[in-house]
Amino acid sequence: MDVWSSLMDGFATALTPMNFLYAVIGVILGTAVGVLPGLGPAMTVALLLPVTYALEPTSAFIMFAGIYYGGMYGGSTTSILLNTPGESSSVVTAIEGNKMAKAGRAAQALATAAIGSFVAGTIGTALLAVCAPIVVKFAVSLGAPSYFAIMVLALLAVTAVLGSSRLRGFASLGLGLAIGLVGMDSVTGQRRLTFGQPLLADGLDIVVVAVAIFAVGEALWVAAHLRRTPLHAIPVGQPWMGKSDWKRSWKPWLRGTAFGFPFGALPAGGAEIPTFLSYVTEKRLSKHPEEFGKGAIEGVAGPEAANNAAAAGTLTPMLALGLPTNATAAVMLAAFTSYGIQPGPQLFSSQGPLVWALIASLFIGNFLLLIINLPLAPLWAKLLQLPRPYLYAGILFFATLGAYSVNLQAFDLVLLLVLGALGFMMRRFGLPVLPLVLGVILGPRIEGQLRKTLQLSAGDPAGLLGEPIAVGVYVIIALILAWPFAYKLFRRNRPATAPAGGAAGLATDTDDTVHSNHHAVYSDHKEQP
Amino acid sequence: MTSLTTGLKGRSELGVALLLGAAGVVVFLDANGLVTPYSKSDPVGPKTVPFIVAGMLVVCAVLLAINVLRGGKGEAEGGEDVDLTHPADWKTVLPLAGAFVLNILLVDWAGWVISGTVLFWGSVLALGSRHFVRDGLISVALSLLTFYGFYLGLGIALPAGLLEGIL
């Protein structure tokens, strides 16, 4: 089979001693940085991007594969032991996971999270290997109008579906698109928003933007609100599970995977909704519903699997369409472009060996994660005790180093500070950062497709509707935009209806509940001495 | 003092609306200043998208201002080490930004080892560590390690600056 032999070639590339070493380094770095509070996988990849510039692309992406899953796993360790999820996708894990840890079952919580991540990651990667070529086959038939529509859909979906305030999402998107405009226009060579500054003519380096928004913004924001009494991390020994834990975990793992992958692969991906759906499902199906809220292992196993499967799913549109739907994929896309590689349907034919090596190393990274991290868990738990001044000074130090080493220009550091201040402001006033980063990355590509479309139709706007797929996508966009109004109307007409039934209704409720859980988690902390 | 100032108090989020509006105006003026002859091969031209973005920013600015005046509030972001119960601590943030600026000014002239040391040391102190000597040693070690690590490991020569010839 074609997929099979390509994948085997990928394994052959990824398993050469040097590349294998990079995978190991990636997994360890990814987990270590992911465990550190305040650092999510996206920031990990962004901070380590400049370091990989000196490597050849294949080795660099093998390392990214390790960092990607390592960062995810590290995040769940933090939320179980500290009860403070760094990312929205770990919120649900923290609910039951931290209760388990408090009840002295931290070892089992970490074990079910690790093994569940492995199971979900492996199945998810296998699905990625099977699905991506199919999506590619479908995608090569698409022309500029469809691409334009799909990219607009991805931007709007991420902006409108995720986050608590759509208005603030769109504000963030607008800022991102404006930043993306800076530099020389690729068609006419006109300079836009450069203010006569020659250093801006090439546009803003996406690495600088990502590091500024994710790392510098975060470090400044935490500095302004640093917790004076650090949280108490629950100490943990070697993770292990008893027979009954296995029995109670394996079904949630599989169900979580089934929720996670499709949601991750959708243009409005993200792990929030599937992790929550998984949690609700497990609660309903569990034979021990009374344990939920007190540390039920199913409530850790399912959402963790969903989280990791969603992470694998996200890579499908990223590799096959060049469409990132979460922050980590966005930064990885930036990495591709900085190597002069354009993700998209042509990627599989032009860079086949690289893509398959990346997919193979996702399998390897997953496996390494399991065998390295189970014994190392006590060590990771110690990392949580790192004094906060060193942690955040270190983030600033490495962010500066990374951004500076790209071009060796002090000017980039000025940009880093200015955009870092923007990131600070966005966190202060609740503007989500993901739409901004996606706007910077996708904005220029959307503009390119728009101009190509109208060039083909000789300026006739009807050209935008020239392909059936494009028309279909616009219908979906209209539905997404109209949904809240329709929902309000529905609520007004039937004020007393219980939120039951319909899949769409479920999705919106899910969103609300995740946010209120977020609050619950934090208010929990304030009560601690 | 006046009803205006009391009305604006606690509405610092209006500044965000102002920033969005200003960004929109800047994008619009910049695009408007471009001179492009109509070309058949590029009917959209370099102005269209900036105009759309500018419009979007201005609309968001207006809607956000209305939202805030009606009592809407952005939800500040939480996190592992974030304690939102106390107000923003500018005594930490400003020295931190100061260390960052110092690094920008120093890096090309004094070199990475010196400026990086200043950056890390300054940041650690700003963040509340009080082990002056230990922190200084860690800062120097970090800067030296990254300098040689980048040079030997990655082939990236960070500026040596004042220490040129010694390093």
Report the residue from A405, A424, A451 with minimal CB separation from B150. A405
- Check B129 against A389: CB less than 8 A apart: yes
Question: Any idea what DSSP says for residue A193?
Answer: S
Q: Which of A55-64, A106-115, A317-326, A498-507 has the lowest mean pLDDT?
A: A498-507
Question: Tens of pLDDT along A181-224?
Answer: 998 887 888 888 888 888 888 888 887 888 898 889 988 998 89
CA distance B161 to chain A (A): 13
**What's the average model confidence in pLDDT over B83-98?**
86
Chain A residues 383-402 with a CB less than 8 Å from chain B? 387-394, 396-397, 400-401
* Residues A35 and A383: beta-carbon distance below 8 Å: yes
Residue B82 backbone phi and psi in degrees, to 5: -100, 130
Least confident of A140-144, A505-509, B100-104: A505-509
Per residue in A79-112, pLDDT (tens digit) is: 888 776 656 677 788 888 888 888 888 888 889 9
Q: Scanning every residue of chain B, which has its alpha carbon at the shortest distance from the alpha carbon of A78?
A: B80
Q: Does the pLDDT of residue A506 top 60, yes or no?
A: no
Query: Is residue A26 within 8 Å of residue A71, measured between CB atoms?
Result: no
pTM of the model: 0.83
Which residues in chain A (469-498) have CB-CB distances under 8 A to chain B? none
- For the cut 90, the answer to whether the pLDDT of residue B25 exceeds it is yes
Whether A523 has a pLDDT exceeding 50, the answer reads no
Whole-number average pLDDT of chain A: 82
Which residues on chain B are in Cβ contact (under 8 Å) with A459?
40, 43-44
- Touching check for A404 and chain B: CB below 8 Å? yes
Chain B contacts in chain A segment 62-81 (CB below 8 A): 78
C-alpha A147/C-alpha A464 separation (Å) is 10
Query: Residue B140 burial by CB count (10 A; 0-12/13-18/19+): exposed, middle or buried?
Result: middle
Give the amino acid at A407: N
Mean pLDDT, to the nearest integer, of A134-157?
87
CB contact burial A164-193 (16+ within 10 A = b; e otherwise): ebbbbbbbbbbbbbbbbbbbbbebbebbbb
Which DSSP letter does residue A60 get? H
> How high is the pLDDT of residue A494?
64
Interface of B with A in 85-124 (CB under 8 A): 85-86, 88-90, 92-93, 96-97, 99-101, 103-105, 107-108, 112, 116, 119-120, 123-124
Cβ contact B27:A180 at 8 Å: no
A311 against B7, higher pLDDT:
A311
User: Pick the residue with more confidence: A485 or A420?
Assistant: A420
- State the Rg of chain B over Cα: 24
pLDDT of residue A519: 40
Split at pLDDT 50, 70, 90, the class of A295 is confident
DSSP secondary structure letters along A460-496: -GGGGG-SHHHHHHHHHHHHHHHHHHHHHHHHHHSTT
Contact A455 B41 (CB under 8 A): yes
Q: Is B4 left (phi over 0), alpha (psi -120 to 50) or beta?
A: alpha
Helix (H/G/I), strand (E/B), else coil: A430: coil
ipTM of the complex: 0.90
Calpha distance B9→A516 (Å, rounded): 28
Q: Between helices A503-527 and A272-285, what is the axis angle to 10°? A: 90
- Which residues, 6 or more positions from A12, have their beta carbon under 8 angstroms from its beta carbon? none
Does residue A40 carry a pLDDT above 80? no
Model pLDDT, residue A124: 94
Specify the pLDDT at position B52. Answer: 94
For residues A421 and A261, give the distance between their C-alpha atoms in angstroms, rounded to a whole number. 35
Residues 6+ apart with CB under 8 A from A170: A159, A160, A435, B56, B60
The structure tokens listed for A500 are: 């039951």
Which of the pair, B71 or B145, is modelled with greater confidence? B145
Predicted pLDDT at A500: 42
Among chain A residues, CA nearest to B159: A408
b/e code A343-369 from CB counts within 10 Å (16+ = b):
bbbebbeebeebbbbbbbbbbbbbbbb
Number of compact structural domains in chain A: 1
Residue A394 pLDDT greater than 70, yes or no? yes
- The model's confidence at residue A239, banded by pLDDT at 50, 70 and 90, is confident
User: Which residues on chain A are in Cβ contact (under 8 Å) with B11?
Assistant: none
Find tokens 């090439």 and name the residue: A202
pLDDT higher than threshold 90 for residue B53: yes
**pLDDT confidence of residue B104:** 93
Instruction: Tell me the three state secondary structure of residue A149.
Output: helix
Chain A residues 134-173 with CB within 8 Å of chain B: 164-165, 167-168, 170-171, 173
Residue A231 DSSP label: P
Enter the DSSP assignment of A198. Answer: G
Please state, rounded to an integer, the average pLDDT across all residues of chain B: 86
Give alpha helix (H) positions in A266-351: 272-285, 298-321, 327-338, 347-350
**A70 lies in which domain range?**
2-525
